[in-house]
Structure formats: C-alpha cells, structure tokens
Homo-oligomer: A and B are copies of this chain.
C-alpha cells in the first residue's frame, strides 16, 4: 500500500517514510533524474550504491522514445531499465510547455511537435495520466502548466486555475493500484494567496501526495523560501511534499527546514558530466589545471567509489582527455554526495539537531576547496 508516516519533526523539518509497492523511501529524499530511462552514465548497481531509494523519469522523453506502448509492452520503465525500486514520473507538462513555437496550448491540453522528428503529439490530463500508468510509475504526477516566471498576479491566477482544473481531471483519470500514488502540484507563482487557493483546491481532490511546482524557475532562493514559508504550512501534514526540480545543496537544506520531503534535480548528474564536483567545501571544477598533479581524492572524507579509488589528478586527466570514465566517476561521486547530504539531514532531524546541521553545513561549504597541491 501507498502510505506516508511522519516519524518525527525538528522545527519545520520532517523525518518520514513513504511505503510504496516497490519499496520504502526514507524522507527527506533526493531522487536522481533518469530522463530517458537511464540515470546518465550510471549503471543500476551504481545507482543503488549511492544510496538512492527512488528515481525519476520523464514522461515527455519516454513517450517520444521508445514510446509509451513500447515501454508498456516491455513491462514498464522499471522493468525496461532494470530498476527494482520505486519510480516517479513527471507529467510531461514542464517539457511540453518549454517547447515554445512547437506547442499549442488550449483548455483541454497541449498539442506539440517532437523535438526529435517533428511528429505531432498531444498531451491532456487524461493522456498524461494514462501514459504514466503505461510507464508503470510508482508515483504519477498531475499534468499541469508550470507558470513562467515572472508572471503578473492575473496571469499566475489564470495559469494556476487551469492547472487545478487539469488536476481534477488527472485525479479522475488515475487508476488506483495498491502501493501506487498520484501527486497534485501546487502552483501560484510567488503569490501566497494563489498558493493558498491552489493548496485548498488540491486538498479536496485527496491525492496521495503534493508537490510544489513553479519554483526554481528564476525567482531566486529568497523568493523560493518565502513562497515555501507561505505554502507548506497549508499542506496536509500526513502526506509527502515534493519540491520539483530543486536544487543546490543549500536549497535542499532550506527547503527541508520548511517542511519539504522530496526533491529531484539534474544538478548532480549534469555537473558530473561537465567536470563540476560537489564537496563539503563547495564545488570544485576538476578541469582546472591546479588539480593536474594532485594525488588527493576529490573529497578525503567521502566514501564513494570515486573518492576511495581515484585522485583529482586522474579525474582532471580524464576530463581533459574527454574520457567517458571521467563523467562516470564524477556522476557517481556527485550522486553519492547528494544522498549523503540527505542522510545527514535525516540523521539530524532524528537527533533534533537540524538547525545545527544546517549551520555547520553552511560554514564548511563556505570555506571553499582545499588548497592546491
């Protein structure tokens, strides 16, 4: 069965467990992004080794390639990619809205052209919900419009209300299955009255969980936190709360402090491909020449495969030589870093020391990288 239990709280921070058909998820949790049924450059065993308990895949990409029918025929995304754990899929809305001239939105849904071959497709609340079922998502997301930023109050209201109408249709279209869930998405831009109205409307639909959407779209961390401050207290305490597409380490800590339980972001995987590594003392650009002769690991206290086997000098060399192994190793590290960060937060909440954890983290992160060799 699909069930969220709040184990303890520490200020606004929450420590819970989400039970699903495909495994339990300790929260707060970070979900690595596996856009096209692959967490880029990571084998399934490597993903598990980072400590991940749930991953995300993108409906838009998968409906175009390999196609929802094909994925369904192969047993769903989890079966296709060999991931036995829980899977969350987005609704496709965010990507479709980003297509610009290639999409046309109406009251009923969105018609768009594939960025791959120009073929025409359509997504509606009903179609998105059905496709996510075909993909066998443990958690499906409501199909909504991610309100662009900035938006006037009026535009944000119109957009939010469209999303709420669509949310109701998604809920109607959702087939309840034991251990599976569907999340509604709170919209309303940075306007607290709209966020409040959105929460109220979604609550009445009784989703298995709720996401905060439309943030991390350019409003900045302060506005994001302010919006969360006004939103999360209105959300039901007994359901998981998911902040979509966030974020940097200090975004995660600040959002957990404000009652968020779930996150996803491409930052650790994308950074892993561009040579940026996360450490307790901030980010490190491994392409920088100062690492060329440095026999030390990226982070001496990290227990990941990369840091226990390889030096900064080697990672630097691999990135300079465009070796695939470089991005493989750095992605492993970055995802482990994110999972370790979440584990640290979970531990701190249990110990009632989350505020100290957040303060210590910020102080160490601000120190910057260790000196050159």
Contact = CB atoms under 8 A, between A and B. Distances in A.
A280 to B, nearest CB: 23
Contact of A317 (B40, B66, B292, B325): B66
Interface stretch (A4-12, A74-82, A341-349, A362-370): A74-82
Q: Which 6 residue pairs spanning A and B have beta carbons closest together?
A: A41-B324, A38-B323, A38-B325, A36-B321, A66-B317, A82-B309
**SS class of chain A's interface: helix, strand, loop or mixed?**
helix
Contacts of A321: 36, 38, 61, 65
Contacts of A323: 36, 38, 40
A314 B292 CA distance: 37
A237 to B, nearest CB: 39
Contacts of A74: 293, 295, 311, 313-314
Contact of A329 (B43, B320, B324): B43
Number of copies: 2
A317 B37 contact: yes
A82 B310 contact: yes
B41 A320 contact: no
Interface in A41-68: 41-45, 61, 65-66
A144 to B, nearest CB: 26
A318 B42 CA distance: 12
A185 B75 CA distance: 54
A284 interface: no
A327 B320 CA distance: 20
A240 to B, nearest CB: 29
Interface residues of A, number: 38
Given A37-B317, A74-B293, A328 B43 contact: yes
Nearest to A327: B324
A150 interface: no
Interface of A: 36-38, 40-45, 61, 65-66, 70, 73-75, 80-82, 292-293, 295, 305, 309-311, 313-314, 317-318, 320-321, 323-325, 327-329
16 contacts: A36-B317, A37-B314, A37-B317, A38-B323, A38-B325, A41-B325, A43-B328, A44-B309, A61-B321, A65-B321, A66-B320, A74-B311, A80-B314, A80-B317, A82-B310, A324-B328
Given A38-B321, A43-B329, 7 more contacts: A36-B321, A38-B325, A44-B309, A66-B292, A66-B313, A73-B293, A74-B295
A313 B80 contact: yes
Contacts of A80: 311, 313-314, 317
Contacts of A311: 74, 80
Contacts of A36: 317, 321, 323
A325 B314 CA distance: 21
Query: Which of A66, A81, A311, A317 has the most chain B CB atoms inside 10 A of its CB?
Result: A317
Nearest to A46: B43
A188 to B, nearest CB: 35
B309 A38 contact: no
A65 B317 contact: yes
A77 B36 CA distance: 36
A309 B44 CA distance: 9
A305 B82 CA distance: 12
Contacts of A37: 314, 317
B325 A40 contact: yes
A340 B338 CA distance: 38
B325 A42 contact: yes
A229 B127 CA distance: 67
A37 to B, nearest CB: 7
